[in-house]
A and B are shown apart, each in its own frame.
Chain A
Amino acid sequence: MKKINRKGGISEEIILFIPKILFLTAALFAVVILVKVFIIGVIDVRQPESSILISRLIYSKDGLSYYDNDLKRVYPGVMDLKKFSELSAVNPNSLDTASLSYGSDNPIIAAKIILKQGTGNDITVFYNKQRYEKWEPRVLSTVQGGAGSVKLVEEKKYVLVKNGDKISPAVLEFNVIG
């Protein structure tokens, strides 16, 4: 009879010990998670990087703006329609390979640029088209593995379009994915 009582006492202690251990484990986990939360390991530069790309396309000599070869100056905000049309139809990879080259593979950034002239003749230019088409569906939160994996930055700029000697207003729409 004595033996049974003793055994019962030990098992009771073990049963009482289980919630204590569970609570201790939870408390220790909470401390570990708290420490992990305060350690910053990832630096997200997608937003500034997108803004820099947009600025570069507008302000740089080899971007989309009109460049006067005689005066050797660029006119930021004045789009060269000839250059834009060439980029759209004739030489779509010239931005990727020449003026904004990240090397043979660009895993950083991609963009779709639409020039809306109001006449219905929208001209679309891609930067890193292959990646853009791959990343575009992942912008949507409904796509599995999509939300947060890529970031879309949308920006609109009011610009002028130079078509020969004629200048007309237009909207330049940037969809940058990084």
Chain B
Amino acid sequence: MISKKRGRNLLFRNKKAISNELFFNVFELVLAAIVILALYNFINSVVDSTIFEKNYLARDLAMLTNTVYSSPGDLSYTYSETSRKFMFIFDFKHNSVQVTDKSRAGFFSSIPADSDLPVSYLFAENKNLAFGPVIVDEGLIKIGFIKSEGGVNVYNPVDYAAVTLDSKK
């Protein structure tokens, strides 16, 4: 009871101390809020960016092309791109696969953010076989691979006739 009274007395007597403590508590809250807001923005940017998907698809397709090349005979395979959440452009060049986010291609193209840049990954091309560089850009969910005596072809299974394949270099 005595201590309560004493505490009350101190509380009302030492206003400067109260304001200092309040200031420190507010400072702590502001600091925590800044960090949480920065973290929230960072997580949002990670969620919005497709850099992980592009990295994954570029590696997956490059390794698949390597596997197709390793087949001892003829082979036909259809790759299902099951993410469906995003639209990608798959550019099969000589020695590399480049994946671009279709929704962001050309968007703010003058100064693209790191996450908007295309991601590419290398595969080992067999120079003794023909390989037709092709861009698969139809908002596809499937990509076809054919290996035959003539070479390795990548095509759009939906529109097989429209696929352009280079002859042997």
Tell whether, in the assembled complex, residue B72 and residue A73 are in contact, meaning their CB atoms are under 8 Å apart. Answer: yes
Tell whether, in the assembled complex, residue A62 and residue B72 are in contact, meaning their CB atoms are under 8 Å apart. Answer: no
B127 to chain A, nearest CB (A): 5
Tell whether, in the assembled complex, residue B72 and residue A76 are in contact, meaning their CB atoms are under 8 Å apart. Answer: yes
Q: Which residues of A contact B (CB under 8 A)?
A: 6, 9-10, 13, 17, 20-21, 24-25, 28, 31-32, 35, 39-41, 43, 45, 48-49, 52-53, 55-56, 59-63, 65, 72-74, 76, 97-103, 106-108
Known: A28-B31, A49-B63, A60-B70. A98 touches B126 (CB 8 A): yes
Over the window 28-57 of chain B, the binary record of Cβ atoms lying under 8 Å from chain A Cβ atoms (1 yes, 0 no) is 100110011001001100100001100110
A97: contacting residue among B14, B39, B95, B127, CB under 8 A: B127
Tell whether, in the assembled complex, residue A13 and residue B63 are in contact, meaning their CB atoms are under 8 Å apart. Answer: no
- List which B98-142 residues lie within 8 A (CB) of chain A: 122-129
Tell whether, in the assembled complex, residue A20 and residue B39 are in contact, meaning their CB atoms are under 8 Å apart. Answer: no
- How many residues does chain B have at the interface if contact means C-beta atoms less than 8 Å apart? 40
Bound state CA distance, A45 and B161, in angstroms? 34
Tell whether, in the assembled complex, residue A48 and residue B63 are in contact, meaning their CB atoms are under 8 Å apart. Answer: yes
A1 to chain B, nearest CB (A): 16
Interface segment, one of B1-9, B16-24, B83-91: B16-24
Tell whether, in the assembled complex, residue A45 and residue B122 are in contact, meaning their CB atoms are under 8 Å apart. Answer: no
Bound state CA distance, A48 and B56, in angstroms? 13
CB neighbours (8 Å) of B126 from chain A are 60, 62, 98-101
Known: A45-B59, A102-B95. A62 touches B128 (CB 8 A): yes
Bound state CA distance, A32 and B36, in angstroms? 9
A155 to chain B, nearest CB (A): 15
**Given A43-B55, A101-B126, 14 further pairs, Cβ under 8 A:** A9-B14, A20-B28, A35-B42, A41-B51, A59-B71, A60-B69, A62-B126, A62-B128, A65-B72, A98-B128, A101-B95, A101-B124, A102-B123, A102-B125
Bound state CA distance, A20 and B31, in angstroms? 12
Tell whether, in the assembled complex, residue B16 and residue A60 are in contact, meaning their CB atoms are under 8 Å apart. Answer: no
CB neighbours (8 Å) of A39 from chain B are 46
B31 to chain A, nearest CB (A): 6
A68 to chain B, nearest CB (A): 11
* Most central of A48, A61, A74, A98 by chain B CB within 10 Å: A61
11 contacts between A and B (CB under 8 A): A13-B21, A24-B28, A43-B55, A45-B63, A52-B67, A59-B71, A72-B149, A102-B122, A103-B95, A103-B122, A103-B125
Tell whether, in the assembled complex, residue B52 and residue A40 are in contact, meaning their CB atoms are under 8 Å apart. Answer: yes
CB neighbours (8 Å) of B94 from chain A are 103
CB neighbours (8 Å) of A98 from chain B are 126-128
